Each structure stands twice: as C-alpha cells, then as structure tokens.
C-alpha cells in the first residue's frame, strides 16, 4: 500500500513538473515577432487621398487608426517607371526595382521570346477552381525573392504565407515563390481560384466561400452613396461625359442599378466598392481556415484591394464614385482591424498599407479647370509610324510594340537585312519629338549621355531590364496620358502617379510621421529588420529607422 502511495506521489510530481514546464515558452530567449503580418496594397491610391477625405473618414475606420495610432511615411515615392500594378506589387514585397526583379510592366514584349508576355502567365500550370488561361498563373516571371519567401526560409517553412486579391498579379507576386497559396477572383464565375503551382484542388473553405456567391449578395444592395450625395463636396458633380460607363451604357450616375447583374455578370462587381468588401471577407476567411497568426511562428497575409483601380480608371480621382469607394474602403478597413483585434489580439499583429501607384486626373476634367492636359494614342502612333517606316526603309512592322511608354524595334527583321538600326531609331525619335505632347524621346542605349533631370533618369534606369524593355523611352508632358477621351490612367514618373501612402500600425509601432523622402523599395527591408530576417534577394531599399525605433 505504501509503495502505491509513494508511486502516486511521484507520479503527481512528474505531472506537476511537466505542467509547469509546458506553461513556460518553448524557448524563453526566442526572438519576439508579431503573430501575423498583414500587408495591404490599395491598387491606385494617391497619397493625397489620406487627407482629401480625412474629415469624412470614420473615427472607427481604418485610415484614422493608421494616422492617429500608427506611423506614416508621408513622402514615399516610387523610384522607377512605369508606375503600374505588377511592378508596384513586386517592388513593395521585394524591395527591388524592375531592372533587377524583372517585372517591367503588367505585360511586356519579350525580346528573346519575340512575343508579348503577361506578368504572371505560366503555361506549365493549370487552373484550379476554373478552366483556361484565367488560372494559368504563377510567380515564375519574377526573378527575386519577396519578404514572404524570406520569412518562409527563415522559419524553415514553418510560417504560412497567403496572397489574396481580385487581380491575379495582386495576389501572386507579393506572396512570392514559396507561398502556401495565392487566390484571385474569376470575373466569369464569381469564384476565387488558384493554380496547380500551389495545389491541385481548392480547399474546402474556399469552396464554401465561393458557394456564398457574395457578388450576388452585394449586387442586390445596388450602389448608392454611403452618405447623402449632396455632401460629396470634394468631388465633381455626378455623371460627366469624360467618365467611362463601366457599369453599363445606360448607367446615369448614382444610384447605380446593380441588381441587373445578379447571376449574369460577375465581373462588374470589381468596378464597385463591393469588390473591396468581398476581398476583406476572403482575407478573414483565410485567417480563420488557415489559422494564420494562431501559434508562435509568424505568418503573412498579403492582401490587395483591386477595386479602387477599376473605379479610378473609369471615373477619375475627382469623382463621387472614387470618393465613395474610399469612404467605404475606410469602413471595410475599420471592420478588418476590429476582427484582427479579436482574432489575433490587439498589439499581436503588424499591418502596413501602401499603394502600387497613383493616378492622373482625367484630361478633360483638367481642361475644364484651365489646367493644360491631353491624351496620346500610342496604338495609333505605332500604326502610323510603321506605315511611314515601310515607305522609308522598305520593311513591314519595324515597330513591334509600344508597351510601357517604350518603342520596341523588330530586331529580327533589322538584323537579317542591311537596314541601319541607328537610322531607324533617329527617324522614330525625331518623329516622336515632333508630337506636341511628347517632351522627350530617348535611345535607351544612350541614356547616360542625354541631358535629363536626375530623378527622371534614375527612374528610367531602375525600370530598364533589357530582355523585357524596348529601345526608345517616351516621356510625355505632365498631365498628358496614353489613352482615349474618357477615363484616365497612370504609369508616368510624375508625383500624381509616383507619390503613394505608406502607413504602419500594430506590433511595436509607435505613433508618428516623417516627411523625409522614403521609397517603395524601403518597405521590404524595413519588414526584414522588424522580423529580424534576411532582406529579399534583389533588395536595394533601406530600412526606415523611424519605423523600427
């Protein structure tokens, strides 16, 4: 009996001992990191939107939480051209520039393949959750690692990384090469999909999410302004002739009838603020199902809100539509923060928010207000130049592309003939300079010898990757865009395209702001410093010391 009693006591001591040991962290000297990093990219957000609508943002919304409780880098700039979506998402997460990471546009003309290449195209993979090219995507065209890859490497792949965006490139490129998953929206079906690069079948939680058909739910709400339309004093009047009718030729401005799209048109939702709402819901679903931030190994969720870009291109940055989109995005971000506070724990997660690019005002809007502006149609110029080049040099199609504000020559034709390439370049450059809206046309091989503002020259150099770039760089006059008579675009060196927000909030972030110049390339190395991991393999940015202090 006594032996049994002693054994019972010893057993209790052992149980107590194990119990006490388990309550202590596995490694008391472990490096402290946030449980979850959430990277937010707002597709087409000018920096000035933070303050243009500041008085209208909710106290409980997302932007004021960033600006009053977080850290703001007020003068963050994009250091390359072209300022477009794929380049921006890649640069944010790599700390690199197109001349190194290789993503030189949303698409580019590949000088070795002799064809146009889409930034995330990959015909070695298949769609998952869909069929056809919409799902044949991967990050393989990106040549360097992202901060997400580096976290996966640093944790011996214990960290989880997931990318979520309406646009494939907005989810795929940030998440990196080693991501657990990236999901994007299929406008044909209203489903979130992926590719066999990541998995062979959609997880059950994604299938369940798709079954909700949230697009139809939001369509039934129609789109009326969040507040009385007469209070939208920071915008022009509703329904302007220079706006694109992206929600139907019969659309007459607010309120927009979206019920007509139920069960029929799942792509139109992207051109409304509801695309952001669905993205936020998808992000929450990923956190729940994948248990992101649930253990002591840091995870990353890379979220891109694509709808501001669709709305902005169609209606412009001075429209009621874009103002309402940002007021609603503010509300979505506030709800997302509240969710993170509850699910992950306040102070346990780190969030940064930036943008892939800004946007120009619609030229006709500027003209209405006596500001010089206009458009240039590169497609029309290319067709006209090719006709004239044939007359002068005797060969068809000497220009094969004018992607990304560059002229791409048909080198196989030129090289296989007795044509003088320099003479062809000179003719094109002289002809471009004869166009009123063109400030400069530059032989990229002679860039170092051309008198040019150092900021513009550096941005062109940072965007130049020879295999995926052209022969001649075109620089437009300020306020002039490549496009038609309705809507607007981006891509230039100018501040309206290149000045973006950069906000930090959460784990170890002290409130404050800086007005010194920081750059899009500084985001990834700053994250690397915070997480105490290696910077991405092509990173050229610098740590923002004020953020990590």
Report the distance separating Cα 530 and Cα 34, nearest Å. 9
- Which of 478, 507, 531 terminates a domain? The answer is 478
Report the distance separating Cα 459 and Cα 520, nearest Å. 12
What's the structural domain count of the chain? 2
Q: Are residues 45 and 141 in the same domain?
A: yes
Give 316-350 pLDDT, tens digit per residue. Answer: 999 999 999 999 999 999 999 999 999 999 999 99
Q: Are residues 157 and 178 in the same domain?
A: yes
Q: Per the domain annotation, does 8 fall within a domain?
A: no
Q: Compute the average pLDDT of residues 100-119.
A: 97
Give the H/E segment covering residue 115. strand 115-118
Give 3-28 pLDDT, tens digit per residue. Answer: 333 334 333 433 333 233 333 344 55
- Which of 478, 511, 532 terminates a domain? The answer is 478
Q: Are residues 532 and 384 in the same domain?
A: no
Among residues 85, 90, 94, 489, the one annotated as catalytic is 85
* Catalytic residue flag (residue 458): no
CATH of residue 454's domain is 3.30.1360.150
- Which of 478, 501, 521 terminates a domain? The answer is 478
Return the bridge partners of 430, or none.
none
Report the distance separating Cα 33 and Cα 40, nearest Å. 19
Q: Per the domain annotation, does 400 fall within a domain?
A: yes
Q: Per the domain annotation, does 485 fall within a domain?
A: no
Cα–Cα distances (Å) from 43 to 108, 226, 363, 406, in that order, read 20, 21, 21, 23
Report the distance separating Cα 233 and Cα 286, nearest Å. 38
Give 294-321 pLDDT, tens digit per residue. Answer: 999 999 999 999 999 999 999 999 999 9
Contact 455, 416 (CB under 8 A): no
Backbone angle region of 193, left / alpha / beta, with phi > 0 → left and psi within -120 to 50 → alpha: beta
Report the distance separating Cα 380 and Cα 370, nearest Å. 27
Give 254-294 pLDDT, tens digit per residue. Answer: 999 999 999 999 999 999 999 999 999 999 999 999 999 99
Give 47-106 pLDDT, tens digit per residue. Answer: 999 999 999 999 999 999 999 999 999 999 999 999 999 999 999 999 999 999 999 999
Question: Mapping DSSP to helix (H, G, I), strand (E, B) and coil, where does residue 229 land?
Answer: helix
Question: Mapping DSSP to helix (H, G, I), strand (E, B) and coil, where does residue 72 land?
Answer: strand
Q: Are residues 378 and 317 in the same domain?
A: no
Give the H/E segment covering residue 65. helix 62-69
CATH of residue 81's domain is 3.40.720.10
Q: Per the domain annotation, does 483 fall within a domain?
A: no
Res. 2: pLDDT tops 50: no
Give 130-168 pLDDT, tens digit per residue. Answer: 999 999 999 999 999 999 999 999 999 999 999 999 999
Q: Per the domain annotation, does 130 fall within a domain?
A: yes
Q: Are residues 314 and 262 in the same domain?
A: yes
Q: Are residues 259 and 306 in the same domain?
A: yes
Question: Binning pLDDT at 50, 70 and 90, where does residue 388 land?
Answer: very high
Q: Per the domain annotation, does 6 fall within a domain?
A: no
Q: Are residues 309 and 395 in the same domain?
A: no
Q: What residues contact 406, with CB distance under 8 A and at least 6 apart? A: 444, 469, 470, 471, 472, 473, 474
Compute the mean pLDDT over every residue in the chain, rounded to the nearest whole number: 94
Q: Are residues 108 and 251 in the same domain?
A: yes
Q: Are residues 348 and 237 in the same domain?
A: yes
Q: Are residues 462 and 498 in the same domain?
A: no
Report residue 296 as tokens: 């002591």
Contact 500, 354 (CB under 8 A): yes
Q: Are residues 417 and 514 in the same domain?
A: no
Contact 263, 216 (CB under 8 A): yes
Give 409-460 pLDDT, tens digit per residue. Answer: 999 999 999 899 999 999 999 999 999 999 999 999 999 999 999 999 999 9
Residues spanned by the domain of 225: 36-367+493-548
Q: Per the domain annotation, does 21 fall within a domain?
A: no
* Cβ atoms within 10 Å of 196's Cβ, excluding its own: 16
Q: Per the domain annotation, does 14 fall within a domain?
A: no
Alpha helices, DSSP H only, in 370-409? 378-393
Q: Are residues 533 and 473 in the same domain?
A: no
């Amino acid at each position: 009996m006594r032996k049994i009693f002693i054994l019972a006591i010893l057993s209790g001591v052992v149980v107590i001992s194990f119990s006490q040991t388990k309550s202590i962290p596995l490694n008391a000297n472990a490096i402290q990191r946030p449980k979850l990093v959430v990277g937010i990219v707002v597709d087409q957000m000018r920096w000035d939107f933070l303050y243009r609508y500041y008085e209208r943002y909710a106290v409980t919304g997302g932007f004021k939480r960033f600006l009053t409780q977080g850290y703001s880098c007020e003068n963050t700039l994009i250091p390359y051209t072209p300022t477009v979506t794929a380049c921006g998402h890649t640069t944010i997460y790599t700390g690199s520039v197109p001349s190194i990471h290789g993503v030189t546009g949303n698409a580019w003309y590949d000088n070795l393949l002799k064809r146009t290449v889409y930034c995330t195209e990959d015909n070695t993979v298949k769609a998952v959750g869909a069929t056809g090219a919409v799902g044949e995507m991967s990050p393989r065209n990106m040549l360097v690692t992202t901060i997400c890859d580096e976290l996966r490497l640093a944790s011996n792949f214990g960290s989880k990384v997931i990318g979520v965006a309406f646009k494939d490139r907005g989810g795929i490129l940030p998440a990196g090469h080693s991501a657990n998953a990236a999901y994007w929206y299929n406008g044909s079906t209203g489903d979130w999909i992926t590719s066999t690069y990541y998995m062979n079948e959609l997880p059950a939680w994604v299938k369940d999410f798709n079954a909700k058909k949230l697009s139809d739910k939001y369509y039934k709400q129609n789109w009326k302004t969040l507040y009385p339309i007469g209070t939208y004093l920071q915008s022009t009047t509703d329904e302007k002739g220079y706006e694109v009718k992206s929600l139907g030729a019969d659309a007459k401005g607010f309120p927009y009838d979206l019920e007509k799209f139920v069960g029929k048109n799942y792509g139109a939702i992207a051109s409304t603020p509801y695309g952001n709402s669905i993205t936020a819901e998808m992000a929450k679903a990923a956190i729940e199902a994948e248990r992101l931030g649930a253990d002591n190994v840091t995870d990353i969720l890379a979220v891109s809100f694509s709808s501001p870009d669709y709305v902005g291109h169609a209606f412009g940055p001075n429209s009621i539509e874009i103002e309402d989109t940002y007021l609603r995005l503010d509300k979505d971000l506030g709800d997302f923060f509240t969710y993170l506070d509850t699910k992950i724990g306040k102070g346990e997660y780190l969030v940064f928010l930036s943008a892939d690019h800004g946007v120009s005002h619609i030229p006709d809007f500027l003209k209405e207000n006596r500001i010089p502006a206009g458009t240039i149609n590169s497609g029309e110029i290319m067709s006209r130049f090719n006709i004239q080049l044939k007359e002068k040099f005797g060969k068809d199609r000497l220009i094969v592309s004018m992607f990304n504000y560059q002229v791409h020559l048909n080198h196989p034709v030129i090289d296989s003939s007795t044509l003088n390439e320099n003479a062809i370049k000179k003719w094109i450059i002289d002809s471009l300079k004869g166009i009123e809206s063109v400030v400069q046309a530059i032989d990229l091989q002679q860039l170092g010898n051309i008198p040019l503002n150092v900021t513009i020259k550096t941005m062109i150099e940072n965007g130049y990757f020879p295999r995926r770039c052209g022969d001649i760089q075109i620089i437009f006059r300020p306020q002039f865009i490549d496009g038609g008579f309705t809507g607007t675009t981006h891509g230039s060196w100018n501040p309206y395209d290149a000045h973006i927000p950069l906000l930090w909030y959460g784990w170890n972030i002290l409130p404050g702001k800086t007005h010194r110049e920081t750059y899009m390339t500084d985001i990834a190395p700053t994250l690397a410093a915070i997480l105490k991991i290696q910077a991405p393999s092509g990173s050229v940015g610098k740590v923002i010391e004020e953020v990590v202090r």
